[in-house]
Structure 1
Amino acid sequence: MPASTMAARSQSPRDAPRGPAASRRRGGARSDRDGDLKMDIAVKGRGRIGKSSSAPSSSRDPASRTSRGEARGGMLSGTARRAILRQAAAGDVSMREPKPTNSRGGLVELSITGWEKSKASGNADGGVSSLIGWLEKKASHRLGSRTRDVKVKKSRKEGSAVIISVPSEHVGALIRMNGYEWAGTNVTIERLGGSKNSSVEVKSQAEETKAMLRGVLERRYNADTKVLDLSALGQDEELNKANVFDKNSTTRKIFPALMRVLEFSFDTEAERHAAVTGVSLANNGLIDLADVTSLSQTLPKLQNLDLSSNNFKGLSSLQNWRKRFSQLQHLVLSNNPLEQAEPEYPAEVVKWYPTLRFLNNVQVRTEEEATQKAAPTDLPFPIRTPNFQDEGGIAEGFVRTFFAGFDTDRAALAAHYYDNLSDFSFAVNTQAPRDPEATQATEKQEWDQYIKSSRNLKKISQPQARQNRHFRGPKAVADAFATLPKTKHPDLATEARKWMVEAHIQPGVPDPTGQSASGVDGFMITVHGEFDELDATTGQAGKKRSFDRTFIIGPGGPSGVRVVNDLLTLRAYGGAQSYDPDNFEGWNANATAARTSDATPDPAVPQLPAGLTIEMAEQMVAELQKQTNMTIQYAKDCLEQVGWDFQKGLEAFANVKGNLPGEAFVGGA
C-alpha cells in the first residue's frame, strides 16, 4: 500500500450511515400449505416500522396474527414500555414459560373453532385428524435450543368445536397459534372455559414482553426452510398491541430487542447459526441499516438475506454490511430506488460478498467460483459505532493484522509497523469499574507484571520516571512488548460483540519523506476490547483483562503503514456491556436495580399485588372508567390508592365524586 494512498484522498471519507429505520408493509397470507412464511416474496408497500395509518385489512396476514389476544397497551406509559424493552434486550428475565396453575391432572383442555370450514372438511372425519396432526407439528417447532414434542393426549368434538387435552407445559405453544391459517381457514384456539390469555401466568411486565417478543419470532420462523421472516414489522398485530411503535425511541429499539431474545433462545452460537440460515427484512421501508445493523452481529453466518421493497437509494445505505455475512449465498435487493440510481450496483455487490451465488434470483457465481473466492480476509469486521471512517480498507486491515501479530509474534510486529520515530507506552488503571456480572473474587497482586513499566501520569510524577516508561523505536517497543504477559484476543470475526472499533481521518500526521511540512493524512484508531492472559508454561488462558488502545497511523514502513503513536490502557475486566450495540441507555442501571432488593421501582410501571396480571388490571381500569365516566388516568390512580380492590375503588369514587375536577371525567363533565 503506497504512502500516497493515505496522503491524498480522492474523496471525502464516508461515515457509516445513520438514520431512522422505517417499515414498508406487506399483506397476504402465508403461501405454503402449513401457513409458513416464504423468503422470496416481495410486495410493494408504504410505511415505517411503526403503527400504520389504518389497521391491517385481513386477519389472514401472518404478521398480523397475535398469540396473546388481549391488548398490551392502554394504561402503560411510553417510559414503562421502553424500560421493558431494555430488559428484554438485557436477557435478565428467564424465557421459561410458567406452567398454568389450574390444570387437571397435568392436562389442560383447549377449544379449537373455525376448523370446520377447512379444505379438509371432505375427509371421513371432517378433517379432525389432519387438524390435530398439524397442531402437533406446528407447536413442536421451537426457535431455540430446547426441543419439544407436543402431543395431543385426548380429543373430542363438541358441536362446532374440537376439544383437545394437552400437557400443561405445551399450552403456551398452542395458544400462540391462535389465528393461524390451516387448510384455507383461520382457527381460533382458546383455553376451555376462559380467555385465550389465561393459559400462562405472566409474573412480571418484563417477562411478559420478552414472551411477546419470543412469540413474534416463533410465529415468523419456518423450521423447515430455516427462514426467519421479519418483513413488514410495522403491521405485526402483536407488536402494535404492545404499543412498541408509539414513539420513535421504542421503534428504534424493537429490532435489537428481537435480536437479543433470539440470542438467548439458543445455548450456543453454533445452534443459532444452524437453526436460522435465512432472514427477510423486506417491506420495512428501511433507508439505511442503522436500526437493523445488529442482525450482522447476531447472525454473522447468514446464508440468505432478503432486503427487497425497502427504500435504499444507493449502495452507501448498505455500507455497514459491506464485509459482513461471510457465508452469504443469496441476496435480494430488488424493488429498491438504488436500482434506478445506481444501475451498475450488482457488479459492486458481487465484490462485497465473495461467497455470493445469487443476486436477485440471478446466478452470479458457480459453486466452484464461490468456494475459490472465499478467504479468511473476507470475514466480518466489528465496526460497532457510526464513527468509523476508512479508505481502501486501511484502518480495517491494520486492526486485523496488528492484534493477530500481537498474540503470535510481537517482535515481528514491532519491526513491521514501528520505526525510529514510533512511540509506545502503556498505563494500568487500577480504579476502573469491574465487570458487574463477575462472580469470582479479585485476586491480590494482579498487576505485578505491569506496574514496573506502567506510565500512569496520575501516579508517576517524576520526569525521569515518566521518560523511562516511554518507548521509542522498533527495538525499544519490541522489548517493552516482551515484558507483557502473552495474550489471546477474541476472534474479530466470530466474537465481534467483544470489540468496539472507531476510526477517523487524522490530518497533520508527520510525513516520513519530509515533502509535506504540514503533514499528511493518517488515521486515529481507537479499540476497546478484552483479552486472556496466557500461562507462559502451559499456554492456557488465565486472567481476563479489558483494554483500550489508541493508535495514530500514517504512511510509511514496509507495508505502507507505520505506527506513529500507540497508547495502551489496561484495566480489570469490565465486561462488554458498555459498548454493546444493543445495550440501550440506562439498561445496566435498570438491570442492576431489578436485581437489588431495595431498588426503587419505576414510578411509571404499575405496582400490582401478587396474582394480579397486567391484563386483569387493565380490565379493572376499563370497567371502572365505564361505570364512573372517569378518564383512564384517574381510574388507574383510584385503583392504585385502594390496592387494586375494585369494590373499594367504586366506594372511593362515590365519596370524592363531588370534589373531583372536570378534567377527571371523559369530556370534562
Structure 2
Amino acid sequence: MSYRGRGRGGFHNQNNFNNRNNNNNQNNGAFGNPQNHQNQAEQFAAQNSVPIEIVGWNGASPAECISFISRKCRVAVSNYNVDPGSGILKGYVKNQNDAATLMNWNGVKFAGQSLKFSKVNVGSQVQSATTSNAIEVITNFLKSRYQPDIKLLNLTNVKSDPNLSAQGFFGSISTSSKFFPALMKVAEDNKLDVLSVDLSANELSDLSSISTLAHTFPQLQNLSLMNNNFNKLKVFETWRHKLNFLRELILGGNPLLANQTNPAEINKIKLELMKSFPRLVVLDGEILRNEQLLSTTLSLPFTGSTSMFFQDEEIRNMSTNFISNYLKLWDGNRGDLMILYQSESQFSIQVDSSHPYLLDTTTTTSYSNGGTDFGNYLSNSRNLTRVSSIKSRISRVAIGQEQIFKAFNQLPKTRHDLMTNPDLFSMECFRFPLLNGIMIVIHGSFEETAQPETDPNANNAQNGPRGRFNHPKHKKPALSKKSFDRTFVVIPGPNGSMIVASDLLSIRPHAGKDAWNTVAKVPAAAIASGTASPAPVAPVGVPQRVPTPADLPQDIKANLNPLQQELLVKILVETKLNMQYSIMLCEQSNWDYQQCTINFKNSAATLPREAFAA
C-alpha cells in the first residue's frame, strides 16, 4: 500500500500524538526539565562511580586539567566541579581500578605544578569537624604541643597524632584542608602567646593550607618548615608583607635549596626571602645580614600614641617600613627612589605660606626678608588657591619617572630626624580599597641642608632683572627648617613590590609638634572618681603625677586584671570619656588598644555629651 496520497498527514494520528505527549510529560526527559536530568546524572554518578579530589590543578582551567588526565593517565573523570570554599577540583571515575590508577599518578606535572589525587571515602567523611567534640580534640592537641616557657608551638607531623586521625581530620583532601584553619582559630580563641612555630614533616608543598598562620601569629619570630616539599620560591609570596617580624627561617630538607648547586641561584633565593620577610636574619643557621643595623633601619620608634593611627597591624608594618626607608633615600639619594614610581605615577608640591597656626606678627611669612623663604618651591607650587590657570595646574603635575626625578632635583637637599627624634612626626595610615592599596599621610619637619641640584628658577632668571654687569640678578633662597605634610597612595606591584601611584607634598613654615603631642594631663584624683577632666595648667617646672591603675576605684579593679586596668587608665586619659563609657569602649573592643582607638575615632562624633567627663 502506497503512502503517497497521505502527504503530511500520513503519520498524523491525534491519539498517537497525545499518547506520545503524555509519555513525554510523565518521563519529564532531558528537554522537559534539564535540572532534573542533571540531578539524575549526578545521583547515578554518585551511586555507580568513585568520588575523587584533585589539588594542584590551578595552573590552568578545570577542563584543561581533566583533558590532561584523560590523555596522560588514561582515566576519564566525569561530573567534575570546583569546590568554591576550598578550591579543590572534585569529580568521579568509573570504578576502584581507575581510582587506584590515579593514585599511582600522584605528583605528575601539570601546568608547572604537581597534581595530587585523593579518593574520597564517603562512609568515613567525619561530619563532626565543626562540633564541640572536634573543638575539644583540637584544644587538647594544642595544649599537648604548646610550650609556654619558650612560646613554641610544635606542629611537627600533625598527621601522626592518633587522636586527630581518629577524629577523621585527614580522611580526605577536603577535610585536611579545613583542619589547619580550624587549628588556628582555636589557637586564636585560646590567646596562645606564640613566637616560634615548628611545621616540620607535614608534606607541605605550598602555603595554601597554612596561610592563616600569618593572621593568627603576626608577631612570629621563628619558623621551621624543615623536611617538607617546597620546591618553588614563589609559594612564599602568600606571606609577603605579613610575617614582618620573622627573624629565623629553617628550610632544610626541602627541594628548594637541597637541589640547588649553583651559588648564584642560592643567593637569589636568599635575596628573595629577605624581600618577603624584611626582618629575616637567619636562614638554616646562616646569618644573612647585620641584625643591629637592620633593626635601626626598619624600626620606627614612635612612642606617642596620640600621634599615630594605623588601621590594623598589617598596615602598621607595611607603612612604617615604607616610610623609614623612603625618607632615608629621600635624604641620601633620590635617584634610588625611582624604582617606586612607574609611568603613570604622579607627584606634585604646593606651598602653604599662610598656615593658620602661624598667622601672627612675629611669624608672618614672606618671600624676602623677615619670614620663611619658599623661593625653591614657588615655581613648581600647585597651590590651587593661588594657581588658577588650567594650563599651569596641568603643567605642575609631574607624571612618570623622568618628570618626577626632574622635580625631585629641583627641591633642596634635606634631613629628616625620623630615627633620632620620632616625636617630631605624626602618621595616619589606612587601606585604599579603590586601588587595593594603602594611603600614608605623614606630618613633620625637616631641615634644608643644601641647594637643589637643578635651579628651579633658572628659566625665570633668564628673563628677570639684570645686575650691574648685565648678569641675571638671582639670589639663592635661604635654607631653613620647614614643616611638611606628605600623602602617598601606595599600591601593590609585580612580585610583591610596592608602587607609589600618587605623591602629594605640602610645604609650610616650621610649626613644631604641638598639634599632635600636646596631651592634657589628668589628675589621679579624677581617675579615682571616674570624672577624668583636664587638670589646670601647672606652673612651669612643676611636673604633674601621671595616673596609674592604683588610682582606680577598688570595685572596678576587683573585676579587671592588671593589663585591663592599665588599658582603662590609658583610655580615660586619652579619650576624656567617663568611667562608664571607657569601660564600655574597652569591653566592646575586646580590651585591645588598637581596636579601642579605631572604635573611638569612628563613634566620637555620635557620642552624647554625658559620655565625656565633666
Q: Which TM-score bucket, shorter chain as reference?
A: 0.3 to 0.5
Kindly indicate whether structure 1 or structure 2 has the higher relative contact order, using CA contacts under 8 Å at least 6 residues apart: 1
| Bigger Rg, structure 1 or 2 | 2
Give me the TM-score of the superposition, normalised by structure 1.
Answer: 0.30
